[in-house]
Amino acid sequence: MTEAEDPEVDETVASTTPAELKQRIDSGENVFILDARSESDFEEWHIDGENVDVVNYPYFELLDEIPEDLHEQLPDDRRITALCAKGGSSELVADNLEDAGYDVDHLERGMKGWARIYEYQELDVDVDATVAQYRRPSSGCLAYLVASDGEAAVVDPLRAFTDEYEQDARAIGADIVYALDTHIHADHISGVRDLATETDATAVLPAAAAERGVDYGLAYETVTDGDTLSVGDVEIETIATPGHTTGMTAYKVGDVLFTGDGLFTESVARPDLEDPEAAKDAARTLYESLQEQILPLPDETVVAPAHFSDAATPNDDGTYTAELGDLVERMDALTMDEDEFVEFIVSDMPPQPANYEDIIATNLGQQSPDDEEAFELELGPNNCAASEEAMTN
């Protein structure tokens, strides 16, 4: 249901910003959320956490008064944060709750505002460079900045946050010289083209990814297995790891391995987003990539993926990385034989990412949505991993 365009509310109704709500959750506060979106929107994606209690009650059922069954679910001893898709309806809901005697605020800009949260954290790794991870809590997308001796590269940038990469590079005294994608993404709009245009950086794609029909309208370079790119005093090594897609590629800087969607800290890639009918063959290719390209690396290799899901456990600093040896010890999929791996991966794949066909077409250069349209396309979870069921032991 469309939210009210101009709800009549008490001007004093309290609000909270997405950043403030995130800080409350991160601090361990027991947060209570009343999500006033439709049930289907709520089921697709919502704010969650160990210290978050959330109740979904659609806005259109709250127009006149607070239903009695909802009263029974709401706490009277802590704050309630109401939210909706864009922030309008939740303001009206919060006003009604306040009139009913509850301590309440509403989330400014709703879930669209939540999707704007983007966090920067430098990794504690043994590399002669600054390596930082970007986290988008709303979707689980991860990107990386590598900076050394006045130069920087961004791995898997998101179009919506191009300005942040530029600002962060300037803050540490580096010019962005490369914008790299690990593959053709199916869950978010790539920022490679925008970053290259705005900074004069070189856009870089795996050659096998470009062969899917990339038409960027600007010059770009391709890399294949074993190629290297120099960034300041460090080199970025290219390691082909097809399976999730034909062009899936990892990039290695010292002991840090940017695995894209090939290997996560809680799961491995799903093999069906490029060609659903070839998922089983792609799963075999993924098995070979893991066994021949990634697992022979030293146990101390730091796996830095392009995504995290609700099943992933963050490090103490909030980042999502893990040593390869630890993943081998706790992830069943990495010790299965080939046939067992393939059947396991294709037997229970999660729903496909929202709008994934349009997102792929955009990332190939076949569609050209404006900034707002692109942002709308990628709202929701990434769903790029295989099912986490029984992934870890």
Closest listed residue to residue 307, CA positions, set 176, 159, 86, 144: 144
Q: pLDDT (tens digit, 9 = 90+) per residue, 97-111?
A: 999 999 999 999 999
Do the beta carbons of residue 153 and residue 180 sit within 8 Å?
Answer: yes
Q: What does the pLDDT average to over 349-353?
A: 81
Do the beta carbons of residue 36 and residue 80 sit within 8 Å?
Answer: no
To the nearest 10 degrees (0 to 180), the angle between helices 162-171 and 192-199 is 50
Residue with tokens 């950043």: 19
CATH of 119-377, one of 3.40.190.10, 2.40.50.1040, 3.30.10.20, 3.60.15.10: 3.60.15.10
| CATH 3.40.250.10 domain extents, the chain | 15-114
- Structurally, at CATH architecture level, domain 15-114 sits in 3-Layer(aba) Sandwich (3.40)
Neighbours of 205 (CB within 10 A): 26
Closest listed residue to residue 376, CA positions, set 165, 162, 139, 142: 139
DSSP letter (8 states) at residue 307: B
pLDDT at 204 over 50: yes
Strands (E), the chain: 15-16, 31-35, 52-56, 80-83, 104-107, 119-122, 130-136, 141-148, 151-155, 175-180, 202-206, 221-223, 228-231, 234-240, 249-253, 256-260, 302-305, 322-323
Residues near 339 by beta carbon (within 8 Å), at least 6 away in sequence: none
Do the beta carbons of residue 315 and residue 302 sit within 8 Å?
Answer: no
Q: pLDDT (tens digit, 9 = 90+) per residue, 162-190?
A: 999 999 999 999 999 999 999 999 999 99
Closest listed residue to residue 231, CA positions, set 191, 258, 197, 260: 258
Q: Give the active site residues.
A: 84
**Can you give the pLDDT at residue 331?**
94
Q: pLDDT (tens digit, 9 = 90+) per residue, 226-277?
A: 999 999 999 999 999 999 999 999 999 999 999 999 999 999 999 998 898 8
**Can you give the pLDDT at residue 6?**
44
Q: pLDDT (tens digit, 9 = 90+) per residue, 281-314?
A: 999 999 999 999 999 999 999 999 999 988 899 9
3-state secondary structure of 188: coil
| CATH 3.60.15.10 domain extents, the chain | 119-377
What six digits make up the tokens of 139?
Answer: 């979707």
Whole-angstrom distance, CA of residue 197 vs CA of residue 205? 15
pLDDT at 66 over 50: yes
Q: What percent of the chain has pLDDT over 70?
A: 95
**Can you give the pLDDT at residue 5?**
45
**Can you give the pLDDT at residue 387?**
63
